[in-house]
C-alpha cells in the first residue's frame, strides 16, 4: 500500500446533482467528493458525462437539481474571480482570437491575482519561469502558441494552470495528445504537485493503466452515474471493467508500481 495518506483539508462536494444540455439529463442524482491533497482520475466510456461533470463543478453549466459546495460554501455564492483563485482548468484544446508567445500564454494564469491596474510583477514572472523550467518549456519561451504541436500546446496549458496557484486543478483529457514519455512525466508531475503543494488534482483520462499507477482514487462514470470509486487496487479488476466498458479484460499486478494493471488481449 502507498505510504501517502489522504489529508482532507478543503473539499468540493456534490449532492444529488442533475444537469444536461437538452431536456434529457446527462448527470442524474450524482454524489461526489473531491478533496484537496488528492489525485483523482475520472474514467468512463465516451458520452458518460465526464466533461459535463467538470462544467458543473466550475459553474459553467447550471444545475437542474441538487447542489455543489466548495469549502463548505455554495458554488453560486462565489464570484468568478474567487473561483479562478480556487480552481484552474486545463481543457482538451483551446484557441485564441489573437496569437501569443508561449510565455504570455502562461502568464495569463496569473490574471486572477492581479490587482486593479496592476501589471505583471517580478514574482509573477519568477513563478512562470520556474514552472516553464519544470515542464521543459524554456526553449519555447518566445515561440508563438499557434506554431506548437498538439502535445506542446497541452504542456503550455498545464503550465498556465500551475501558475494560477489554485487549490484544485481540473484537467480534461490532458494526456490525449501527449507522447508516452510526456504522459508519464505529466502524471509524475501531477502527483508531485499533490504531494508538495497539497492541491486537489481531478483528471479525466482514458488511460486505465496510467490512472491505476498514479492516482489515489479512480472514479468510474457511466451513463451519468458513478459505477464505482476507490483505490485503484480495489477497482482494476475484470468484473468492474466488464460493467463499465462491456469488454472482458484481465488484470495483473505491475511489478514496478505494485498496482493492479489491465492486460489487453
Number of residues that this document lists for the chain: 265
Of all residues in the chain, the percent with pLDDT exceeding 70 is: 95
| Rounded Cα gap, residues 53 and 30, in angstroms | 9
**Lowest mean per-residue pLDDT among 37-46, 88-97, 105-114, 190-199:** 88-97
For the entire predicted model, the pTM comes to 0.89
> What does the pLDDT read at residue 9?
62
Q: Are 108 and 71 in the same domain?
A: no
- Sign, Cα dihedral of 175, 249, 6, 51: positive
Give SS3 for 106: helix
**Residue 246 domain-assigned (yes or no):** yes
> What does the pLDDT read at residue 2?
44
- Tell me the pLDDT band of 7, cut-offs 50, 70 and 90: very low
* Pair 38, 172: CB distance under 8 Å: no
Q: Are 172 and 74 in the same domain?
A: yes
> What does the pLDDT read at residue 186?
87
Q: Are 146 and 245 in the same domain?
A: no
* Pair 76, 131: CB distance under 8 Å: no
| Rounded Cα gap, residues 186 and 157, in angstroms | 12
- Tell me the pLDDT band of 230, cut-offs 50, 70 and 90: very high
Number of domains in the chain: 2
**Lowest mean per-residue pLDDT among 59-73, 89-103, 218-232:** 89-103
- Tell me the pLDDT band of 134, cut-offs 50, 70 and 90: confident
Kindly report the number of other CB atoms within 10 A of residue 84's CB atom.
18
**Residue 181 domain-assigned (yes or no):** no
| Rounded Cα gap, residues 17 and 135, in angstroms | 36
Q: Are 52 and 172 in the same domain?
A: yes
> What does the pLDDT read at residue 155?
87
Kindly report the number of other CB atoms within 10 A of residue 39's CB atom.
24
CATH number at residue 251: 3.40.50.300
Give SS3 for 264: coil
Q: Are 79 and 205 in the same domain?
A: yes
Find where cell 503550465 sits: 159
DSSP string, 62-114: --SEEEEEETTEEGGGS-HHHHHTTEEEE-S----SS--BHHHHHHGGGGGGP
Q: Are strands 200-204 and 168-172 parallel, antiparallel or unpaired?
A: parallel
- Tell me the pLDDT band of 205, cut-offs 50, 70 and 90: very high
**Residue 11 domain-assigned (yes or no):** yes
Q: Are 82 and 98 in the same domain?
A: no
pLDDT in tens, 15-70: 999 999 988 999 999 999 999 889 999 999 999 999 999 999 999 999 999 999 99
| Rounded Cα gap, residues 183 and 187, in angstroms | 6
Q: Are 71 and 104 in the same domain?
A: no
Amino acid at each position: 500500500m502507498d505510504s501517502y495518506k489522504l489529508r482532507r483539508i478543503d473539499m468540493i462536494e456534490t449532492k444529488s446533482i442533475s444537469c444536461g444540455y437538452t431536456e434529457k439529463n446527462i448527470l442524474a442524482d450524482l454524489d461526489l467528493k473531491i478533496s484537496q491533497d488528492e489525485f483523482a482520475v475520472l474514467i468512463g466510456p465516451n458520452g458518460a458525462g465526464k466533461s459535463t461533470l467538470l462544467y458543473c463543478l466550475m459553474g459553467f453549466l447550471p444545475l437542474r437539481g441538487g447542489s455543489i459546495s466548495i469549502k463548505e460554501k455554495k458554488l453560486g455564492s462565489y464570484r468568478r474571480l474567487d473561483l479562478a483563485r480556487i480552481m484552474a482548468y486545463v481543457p482538451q484544446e483551446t484557441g485564441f482570437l489573437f496569437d501569443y508567445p508561449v510565455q504570455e500564454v502562461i502568464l495569463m494564469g496569473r490574471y486572477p491575482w492581479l490587482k486593479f491596474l496592476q501589471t505583471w510583477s517580478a514574482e509573477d514572472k519568477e513563478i512562470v519561469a520556474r514552472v516553464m523550467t519544470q515542464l521543459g518549456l524554456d526553449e519555447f519561451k518566445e515561440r508563438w502558441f499557434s506554431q506548437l504541436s498538439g502535445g506542446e500546446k497541452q504542456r503550455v496549458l498545464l503550465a498556465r494552470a500551475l501558475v494560477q496557484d489554485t487549490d484544485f486543478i481540473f484537467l480534461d483529457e490532458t494526456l490525449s495528445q501527449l507522447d508516452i514519455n510526456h504522459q508519464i512525466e505529466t502524471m509524475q508531475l501531477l502527483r508531485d504537485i499533490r504531494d508538495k503543494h497539497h492541491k486537489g488534482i481531478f483528471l479525466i483520462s482514458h488511460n486505465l493503466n496510467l490512472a491505476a499507477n498514479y492516482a489515489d482514487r479512480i472514479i468510474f462514470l457511466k451513463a451519468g452515474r458513478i459505477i464505482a470509486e476507490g483505490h485503484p487496487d480495489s477497482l482494476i479488476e475484470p468484473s468492474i471493467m466488464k460493467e463499465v466498458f462491456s469488454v472482458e479484460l484481465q488484470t495483473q499486478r505491475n511489478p514496478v508500481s505494485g498496482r493492479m494493471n489491465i492486460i489487453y488481449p
